[in-house]
Amino acid sequence: MSTFAVVTRKVNDLVLTAIPEDERLWVPQAESVWFRPLFLNTVAGEWVNLLRVRRSGVLSRHRHPAPVHGYVIKGSWRYLEHDWIARAGMYVFEPPGEIHTLVVDDDVDEMITLFHVSGALIYFDAADNPCGHDDVHTKIELCRRHYTAVGLGEDFVDQFIR
Protein backbone atom coordinates (compact mmCIF):
# COMPACT_ATOMS: atom_id res chain seq x y z
CA MET A 1 0.00 0.00 0.00
CA SER A 2 1.31 3.43 -0.96
CA THR A 3 2.47 5.68 1.83
CA PHE A 4 1.99 8.79 -0.30
CA ALA A 5 -0.98 10.94 0.53
CA VAL A 6 -2.87 12.82 -2.10
CA VAL A 7 -1.25 16.25 -2.35
CA THR A 8 -3.66 19.09 -1.78
CA ARG A 9 -3.86 21.46 -4.70
CA LYS A 10 -2.26 24.72 -3.58
CA VAL A 11 -2.52 26.97 -6.62
CA ASN A 12 -5.96 28.00 -7.83
CA ASP A 13 -6.74 27.80 -11.49
CA LEU A 14 -7.83 30.84 -13.44
CA VAL A 15 -10.63 30.74 -16.00
CA LEU A 16 -12.17 33.97 -17.18
CA THR A 17 -13.59 35.91 -20.08
CA ALA A 18 -10.56 37.60 -21.60
CA ILE A 19 -12.31 40.60 -23.18
CA PRO A 20 -14.53 41.86 -20.36
CA GLU A 21 -17.97 43.41 -20.63
CA ASP A 22 -17.08 45.77 -17.78
CA GLU A 23 -14.95 48.54 -19.27
CA ARG A 24 -13.49 49.28 -15.83
CA LEU A 25 -11.35 46.16 -16.03
CA TRP A 26 -9.15 47.83 -18.66
CA VAL A 27 -6.30 49.57 -16.85
CA PRO A 28 -5.01 52.78 -18.49
CA GLN A 29 -1.30 52.53 -19.33
CA ALA A 30 -0.90 55.68 -21.40
CA GLU A 31 -3.03 57.98 -23.56
CA SER A 32 -5.46 55.69 -25.47
CA VAL A 33 -3.54 52.60 -24.31
CA TRP A 34 -4.94 50.07 -21.83
CA PHE A 35 -4.11 46.61 -20.53
CA ARG A 36 -6.43 43.99 -19.21
CA PRO A 37 -4.65 41.73 -16.69
CA LEU A 38 -5.25 38.01 -17.06
CA PHE A 39 -2.44 36.38 -15.09
CA LEU A 40 0.08 38.11 -12.83
CA ASN A 41 2.72 35.66 -11.66
CA THR A 42 4.74 37.12 -8.80
CA VAL A 43 6.64 33.86 -8.27
CA ALA A 44 8.13 33.47 -11.74
CA GLY A 45 8.05 37.19 -12.59
CA GLU A 46 5.83 37.10 -15.66
CA TRP A 47 2.41 38.26 -16.75
CA VAL A 48 -0.25 37.69 -19.38
CA ASN A 49 -2.41 40.58 -20.45
CA LEU A 50 -4.35 42.02 -23.32
CA LEU A 51 -2.95 45.25 -24.69
CA ARG A 52 -5.54 47.55 -26.28
CA VAL A 53 -4.51 50.59 -28.31
CA ARG A 54 -6.82 53.17 -29.86
CA ARG A 55 -4.30 55.55 -31.37
CA SER A 56 -1.64 55.39 -34.01
CA GLY A 57 2.04 56.17 -33.88
CA VAL A 58 4.91 55.10 -31.64
CA LEU A 59 3.77 53.41 -28.42
CA SER A 60 7.10 52.57 -26.84
CA ARG A 61 10.74 51.76 -27.40
CA HIS A 62 11.67 48.86 -25.19
CA ARG A 63 13.82 45.83 -24.61
CA HIS A 64 12.95 42.62 -22.83
CA PRO A 65 15.55 40.45 -21.11
CA ALA A 66 13.30 37.38 -21.48
CA PRO A 67 10.97 36.02 -24.16
CA VAL A 68 7.64 37.58 -25.12
CA HIS A 69 4.83 35.73 -26.86
CA GLY A 70 2.00 37.56 -28.58
CA TYR A 71 -1.31 36.64 -30.22
CA VAL A 72 -3.00 39.40 -32.20
CA ILE A 73 -6.77 39.43 -31.63
CA LYS A 74 -7.71 42.62 -33.46
CA GLY A 75 -6.01 45.21 -35.65
CA SER A 76 -2.28 45.13 -36.32
CA TRP A 77 1.06 46.50 -35.11
CA ARG A 78 4.72 46.30 -35.99
CA TYR A 79 8.21 47.18 -34.89
CA LEU A 80 10.12 49.86 -36.79
CA GLU A 81 13.19 47.62 -36.68
CA HIS A 82 11.48 44.76 -38.55
CA ASP A 83 9.75 44.38 -41.90
CA TRP A 84 6.87 42.19 -40.72
CA ILE A 85 3.41 43.31 -39.58
CA ALA A 86 1.61 41.42 -36.80
CA ARG A 87 -2.00 41.13 -37.93
CA ALA A 88 -5.17 39.73 -36.36
CA GLY A 89 -4.85 35.96 -36.00
CA MET A 90 -1.04 35.96 -35.97
CA TYR A 91 1.29 34.64 -33.32
CA VAL A 92 4.55 36.47 -32.57
CA PHE A 93 7.59 35.28 -30.64
CA GLU A 94 9.94 38.07 -29.56
CA PRO A 95 13.36 36.81 -28.53
CA PRO A 96 15.06 38.76 -25.75
CA GLY A 97 17.78 41.27 -26.30
CA GLU A 98 17.04 43.92 -28.87
CA ILE A 99 15.59 47.40 -28.41
CA HIS A 100 12.57 47.77 -30.64
CA THR A 101 9.95 50.42 -31.31
CA LEU A 102 6.29 49.44 -31.23
CA VAL A 103 4.03 51.32 -33.64
CA VAL A 104 0.39 51.14 -34.69
CA ASP A 105 -0.30 52.44 -38.17
CA ASP A 106 -2.84 55.15 -39.08
CA ASP A 107 -5.32 52.78 -40.70
CA VAL A 108 -5.84 50.81 -37.45
CA ASP A 109 -8.74 52.03 -35.26
CA GLU A 110 -8.15 49.54 -32.49
CA MET A 111 -5.49 46.94 -31.75
CA ILE A 112 -5.89 44.18 -29.19
CA THR A 113 -3.07 41.68 -28.60
CA LEU A 114 -2.57 39.09 -25.91
CA PHE A 115 1.01 39.26 -24.62
CA HIS A 116 2.80 36.84 -22.35
CA VAL A 117 5.78 38.74 -20.97
CA SER A 118 8.50 37.19 -18.81
CA GLY A 119 10.75 39.34 -16.67
CA ALA A 120 10.32 42.95 -17.65
CA LEU A 121 9.92 45.56 -20.30
CA ILE A 122 12.68 48.16 -20.07
CA TYR A 123 11.78 51.42 -21.80
CA PHE A 124 14.31 53.50 -23.75
CA ASP A 125 14.22 57.03 -25.09
CA ALA A 126 15.20 57.95 -28.64
CA ALA A 127 18.87 58.14 -27.60
CA ASP A 128 18.77 54.59 -26.19
CA ASN A 129 18.87 55.73 -22.57
CA PRO A 130 16.74 53.60 -20.23
CA CYS A 131 13.79 55.66 -18.96
CA GLY A 132 11.58 53.26 -17.02
CA HIS A 133 10.38 49.71 -16.79
CA ASP A 134 7.39 47.47 -16.22
CA ASP A 135 7.37 44.14 -14.46
CA VAL A 136 4.65 42.09 -12.81
CA HIS A 137 4.91 44.28 -9.71
CA THR A 138 4.46 47.60 -11.52
CA LYS A 139 1.54 46.07 -13.39
CA ILE A 140 -0.08 45.05 -10.10
CA GLU A 141 0.43 48.55 -8.72
CA LEU A 142 -1.20 50.10 -11.81
CA CYS A 143 -4.12 47.71 -11.37
CA ARG A 144 -4.53 48.53 -7.67
CA ARG A 145 -4.56 52.27 -8.32
CA HIS A 146 -7.00 52.02 -11.21
CA TYR A 147 -9.37 49.52 -9.60
CA THR A 148 -9.48 51.68 -6.49
CA ALA A 149 -10.24 54.77 -8.59
CA VAL A 150 -13.11 53.10 -10.47
CA GLY A 151 -14.69 51.64 -7.35
CA LEU A 152 -13.74 47.98 -7.77
CA GLY A 153 -11.31 48.20 -4.87
CA GLU A 154 -7.59 47.59 -4.68
CA ASP A 155 -8.16 43.91 -3.87
CA PHE A 156 -9.91 43.33 -7.19
CA VAL A 157 -6.58 42.55 -8.84
CA ASP A 158 -5.83 39.77 -6.36
CA GLN A 159 -7.89 37.27 -8.36
CA PHE A 160 -5.31 37.46 -11.19
CA ILE A 161 -2.26 37.12 -8.97
CA ARG A 162 -0.47 33.82 -8.38
Footprint of Fe ion (CB under 5 A) = 94
- Helix ranges, the chain (H): 136-149
Residue 46 or 94 with smaller CB distance to Fe ion:
94
Distance, CA of 66 to CA of 93 (rounded, Å): 11
Distance, CA of 109 to CA of 128 (rounded, Å): 29
Buried b (16+ CB within 10 A) or exposed e, 87-107: eeeeebebeeeeebbbbbeee
Residue 68 or 157 with smaller CB distance to Fe ion:
68
CB of 162 to Fe ion, least distance (A): 23
Residue 98 or 158 with smaller CB distance to Fe ion:
98
Residue 94 or 134 with smaller CB distance to Fe ion:
94
CB of 23 to Fe ion, least distance (A): 26
Distance, CA of 143 to CA of 157 (rounded, Å): 6
CB of 70 to Fe ion, least distance (A): 8
CB of 62 to Fe ion, least distance (A): 6
Contact 81, 68 (CB under 8 A): no
